[in-house]
Structure 1
Amino acid sequence: MVWRAFDLELGREVSLKRSLGADTGQIRREARIGAGLLHPNVVTVFDTVPDRDSYWLVTEYLAARTLEEIVEAEGPLPETRARRIGAQLAAALGAMHGRGIVHRDVKPGNVLVTEDDVAKLTDLGIARWTEVTRTGGAQLTGTLGYVAPEVAAGAEAEAASDVFSLGATLYAAVEGRSPWGSGEDGPFVQMRRAAEGRSIPVERAKALAPVLAALMDRHPAERPTAAEAERLLGGEDVPVPRRRRGWRRRHAVLAGGALVVVVALAAWFVLSGPPASSPAGGPGTLGADPAEADPCAAISANALAPYGQPFVDPEVKNFGSCVVSTKLADGTGQVQTSVDLTTALRYPTRPPTPGRMGDIERPDARDGTCVRSISLADTNRIDVATRSIEHAENAPLCAISESVLSGVLPMLTNGPLPRRARPFPPESLAHVDACGLLDAAETTAVLGRKARAESEFGGWGCVWEAEPRVITVRFSREWPIEPDTEVIGDRIRIGDRNAVVGTVPDDRPTCAVQIVHRFYTPALPVLRGTEPNREEVAVVTVEGTAPADATQLCGPARSLAGSVVPRLP
């Protein structure tokens, strides 16, 4: 809700804005983004005022109507007026994109226009700095009637998506409706049209039609930049730029001057990628045998140097994982970054393209963890996750994850990820196929019907799924779990192995049995102050997809663990 108010101290009219619901951080986010944008075509943010558990946003007051209100009251705009307004909005977007910010909700309702046609963008509540928070296709952002095709199809919103929404906004100003229709036939029709890029042909636009077509090109790489759009809208004779299809622009700002060369190389590789015919084991892959790839080779000390003192531990988590702990340079605490090699997602937002790397995926940070991922030319993936530990809540988690992932991309330009320097010992679980530890009769007895075994990366994990239950067997490397008080559960013996069985805190009822396969001392030094030894563990879990008491799943989990133990080497 927005009020018109008067600032008693500074003697000026202002607007006051407060969320009607619970404060989710949107007001403060809008304040932080707006405070860094001093542009004549962006509504100026003055201050935030805390009020118990909520915040008020103080912005300039503008005696203006929204573009949406103008079109509703007066009908479609003449092309010359639409051009004048559009050029100002393009200038505003150019300033935002130059700072690495994507608005993500450009629409007529977020454009204020004064009586003398001064246009200003407003409502930065869902805008994002591109280098720290990307949707990664996890959610639809923006307003459906003006959303770009790639966003409607599940991709992340980028600068090119803002340019499309600018074109859609001007389309609506001239045509009197959204390019995806009025919405009278339902949002799903609009969504389908948007995802397919099938806009309704213009009827009123004449000289502006080629410009609208350029701004609203279905392919993001074909659209002009915001700066080019400003020139297109500002003059009748400016040629419409055309680009070779397949080249994508990207705005990314990473902390640390030492990363400039790495980021430039990484950006080149992500944009160009290996050739579509890249063979298995070629550039942009994990090699001819992905299980031999060394995840620790993906961690560059130079990439982490700007943040503090890193220590790499290759003996934690799955065999396809490597963990690095970084003591922050400012002494505020420690962060932990894991690099995980994985197979393609079971349910991807965008299926990977064999022979070509994907874009870096940047989902929003959650629960104190920030993840950056990329799909490789062999359809395997590299996931980088950074989380705060030891009083490092304000650490730049996303920038660290981005730095680590960007650091490995130049390495992939010349070939696959390097192989491990040390082979796994013969007795290791690394040589075991997790799917071979349970047979169809055993999984069917727990699931109630036969389910296909789905192997995970390296064969070091396996999933059997049949509603309402899921069985998993995964391998891990842990500090000795028997004396560890943080490992919750009952200490038991299964056959000749030690094990821990207990319920797992999760959204769904889950019980896990951790079976100790072998105890060993790592060949390389471990982080000072931590446990010097490790255990390889086979974890058997039974998860219920329907509400139930998790302890009821421990019986089936123990039964399956009893079948696994005799098959371990």
Structure 2
Amino acid sequence: MTTGRLIAQRYRLEERLGAGGMGVVWRATDLELRRTVALKRSHTGDAGQIRREARIGAGLTDAHVVTVYDVVMDGDERWLVMEYLPSRSLDELLAAGGPLPPEQVRRIGADLAGALAAMHAADITHRDIKPANTLVGEDGTAKLSDLGIARWSEATVTGGAQAAGTAGYLAPEVANGHEATPAADVFSLGATLYAAATGRSPWGSGEAGPYAQLRRAAAYDLEPLTGELAPVLGALMAKRADRRPTARQAIDLLTGVAPAPPHKRQWRLAVSIGAAVVVVLLAAGLLTTFFRQAPQKSADLLGDPRTADPCALLVPNSLARFGKVALEPNYGNFNHCDLVVDTTGKGDIVDVALELRLPDEYPAEPSTPGKLGQVQADPPTENRCKRTIPLPNLYRVVIFARQVNNKPAELCGAAEAVALAAYGKLAQGPIPRRTSFEADSTASVDACRLLTGAAVKTAIGRAAPAEPDYGNWTCYWQNATRQVTIEFGREWPLEDDPPDGARISVGGRLAFMDTSEDGECDVTVVHRRYTPIVASEKGTPRERDETVTITLEDKNITDGTGLCPDVTAMAQVAVSRLPR
């Protein structure tokens, strides 16, 4: 994109003003009205994001919100036409001159609070108040910009920082996956003013990355509040949303019309409570136990791998901006849980799955034992995008988004939103435990014990040690050319929707045998039909099948048909060892 380009046969691009998380902004000349305007186009060409911002901006007429004039099409690109304000962002002011004096912080804060009051009166939540979205004019007037992720209140359902703002300025409840509300905007206003007064976010400088800030936000680990602005900032950034002033009340606090409540040094209260706990524990003779157990709880977020609940790390609202979201807790292996998103309301599905996994033998990025790692991004493919969170014991939380109907979708945006929401959950402490499984479930079975050494030796030609995967719900045996895999799963009733392959019987149980051109044969046996304790989304089958799949692969052949007798024999052995 170059200077001089004509947009919609009317707006001539003059100067690239900058780029943010949502788009790039240009100064342009309106050749028809002969005025200077600002033009914005989404980074990704997301016309929906530009359209949303235009509709929200058109409904606001406040002196401290950048005015939206129009939205125009230029070929396949949609551009937002806005008021041009000769200004610098608060980010740029701080980078150039450092922290601002208290009176200037108050003036900027009052202007922003007025903008928020107008937005909240119109039932709109901004959701991304920060220095980069605060424009300060030559006369000192401040205006809010970038309504790209704002929402009317009836549609405001969020979770995960990618969908609900910027990590350094998030309210603690949003960092923990809850809905962004007007009270969260007020917190972000306070965080922005804290940065104006100190030069850094209340969740730290950000040098360790946004996920470190997200973790601090989720734990409400604020930087110290000092100086004459501490009472006002303390009120705006109160931990509990219902303790914060409204945006209208914030104007009075910042202009001095209303006195700010005394700033409470919460750390002193915490020390006092902690001292009292120590006294009680000393009296009870439990101090050694208390200090021995506390570090273990903070260091081990996984606990028993077989009881850790992967669904507990999913926040359905984190994907609300992508479409209608449903939790699917009864599909795949027992380390697996899904969020299913209908992106159009017409069955165009994106599946975002979360799995708990073993440590990576060859990690792309090193992790630090004993410390929750940063969210790691794999290069996206055409139909999949993946995020990984290393746990303190080096086990992993893996999130991957995929297209189900091959329709265009923001797969990496969805994976990132779910990963950030999961990270916020992990920052609160250990993964919650799942509801116990029924006695005849394969969840209580060790997959490695279902096959005998003799059966495996017959299939791969020699004895081989069992290699268990996460939770012992999958197991492998291999030599240089062949591999046997046994894996548990949960499916919709297979009898109603049979998979590919031949229908057979193994040990009196329904089974399906299939081959591939990759030198593979597999047999899937239905272990039992059951009704889940935790129901799935309405409209899906109420019952589920627990399955056991035995696979034999040979990398030196293409037709797997000749492998099927050995696979069937192994399936017979495995079925004989399943619980009745």
Separation (CA, whole Å) in 1 of partners of 2:241 and 2:521: 43
* Distance in 2 between residues matched to 1:464 and 1:232, nearest whole Å: 60
The yes-or-no answer on 1:233 pairing with 2:254 is yes
5+ residue gaps, structure 2? 1-23, 267-306, 330-336, 350-436, 457-464, 478-482, 530-537
What letter matches 2:139 in structure 1? D
Q: 1:212 aligns with which of 218, 221, 233?
A: 233
Name the residue aligned to 1:116: 139
SS in 2 for 1:171: helix
Q: Which residue of 2 aligns with 1:27?
A: 50
The equivalent of 1:303 in structure 2 is: none
Cα shift at 1:165: 1.8
Instruction: Check 1:159–1:185 CA distance in 2 against 1; reply closer, same or farther (3 A cut).
Output: same
Please name the residue that 2:449 is paired with: 441
Aligned 1:515-534 pairs, distance under 5 A: 515=526
Aligned counterpart for 1:45 among listed residues 59, 65, 68: 68
CA distance in 1, matches of 2:92, 2:35: 25
Q: Does 1:471 align with 2:487?
A: yes
CA offsets 1:171-221 (integer angstroms, 9 cap, x no match): 222234433444457667655654544444355x41x22011111234444
Q: Secondary structure at the match of 1:362?
A: helix
Do the aligned partners of residues 212 and 57 (structure 1) sit closer, same or farther apart at CA in structure 2, a change above 3 Å counting? Answer: same
Q: Match for residue 345 of structure 1? A: 309
Alignment of 1:484-503 (within 5 A): 487-502=499-514
- 1:363 partner SS: helix
Considering only aligned residues, what root-mean-square deviation do their CA atoms show, in Å? 5.3
| 1:165 to 1:492, Cα distance in 2 relative to 1, 3 A | same
Q: Is it true that 1:362 corresponds to 2:373 in the alignment?
A: no
SS at match of 1:30: helix
Distance in 2 between residues matched to 1:543 and 1:95, nearest whole Å: 62
Are 2:124 and 2:152, in contact at CA under 8 Å, matched by a contact in 1?
Answer: yes
Structure 2 CA distance for partners of 1:558 and 1:515, relative to 1, 3 Å: farther
| 8 A Cα contact 1:140 1:154, kept in partner | no
Q: How many residues align?
A: 390
Question: How far, CA to CA, are the matches of 1:548 and 1:218 in structure 2?
Answer: 61
Cα deviation, residue 108, structure 1: 1.5
Matches within 5 A, 1:267-346: 345-346=309-310
Q: CA separation in 2, counterparts of 1:8 and 1:84?
A: 35
After superposition, the Cα gap between the structure-2 partners of 1:475 and 1:91, relative to the gap in structure 1 and judged at 3 Å, is same
Q: Could you tell me which residue of structure 2 aligns to residue 414 of structure 1?
A: none
Q: CA deviation at 1:88?
A: 2.3
Distance 1:103 1:471, change over 3 A: farther
Query: Residue type of the partner of 2:38?
Result: S
Q: Distance between the aligned counterparts of 2:445 and 2:123, measured in 1?
A: 49
Conserved? CA contact 1:27–1:57, under 8 Å: yes
Q: Distance in 2 between matches of 1:169 and 1:367?
A: 28
Counterpart residue identity of residue 371, structure 1:
A
Quote how far apart the aligned CAs of 1:168 are: 1.7
Distance 1:146 1:133, change over 3 A: closer
Identical aligned pairs, as a percentage?
Answer: 44
Query: C-alpha separation between the residues in 2 aligned to 1:548 and 1:219?
Result: 62
The alignment's TM-score, normalised by the length of structure 2, stands at 0.53
Quick one: structure 1 residues 475 and 177, their matched pair in 2 at CA, closer, same or farther if it must change by over 3 Å?
A: closer
List aligned pairs for 1:131-280, cutoff 5 A.
132=155, 134-137=157-160, 139=162, 141-152=164-175, 157-183=180-206, 190=213, 193-202=216-225, 205-206=227-228, 208-240=229-261
Cα distance change on mapping 1:443 and 1:514 into 2, 3 Å: closer
Shift in CA distance, 240/364, structure 1 to aligned 2, threshold 3 Å: same
Secondary structure (helix, strand or coil) at the match of 2:318 reads coil
Residues 185, 537 of structure 1: CA spacing in aligned structure 2 closer, same or farther, 3 A cutoff? closer
5+ long unaligned stretches in structure 1: 246-342, 351-359, 375-381, 395-428, 455-462, 519-526
CA distance in 2, matches of 1:154, 1:26: 22
Distance in 2 separating the partners of 1:21 and 1:2 = 13
**In 2, are the aligned partners of 1:370 and 1:386 still within 8 Å (CA)?**
yes
3-state DSSP of counterpart to 1:56: strand
Give how far 1:565 is off.
Answer: 5.0
Contact kept, 8 Å, 1:437 with 1:563, in 2: the verdict is no
Q: How many angstroms does 1:102 deviate by?
A: 3.5
CA offsets 1:425-484 (integer angstroms, 9 cap, x no match): xxxx99943336776512797993346758xxxxxxxx45789978223364466335xx
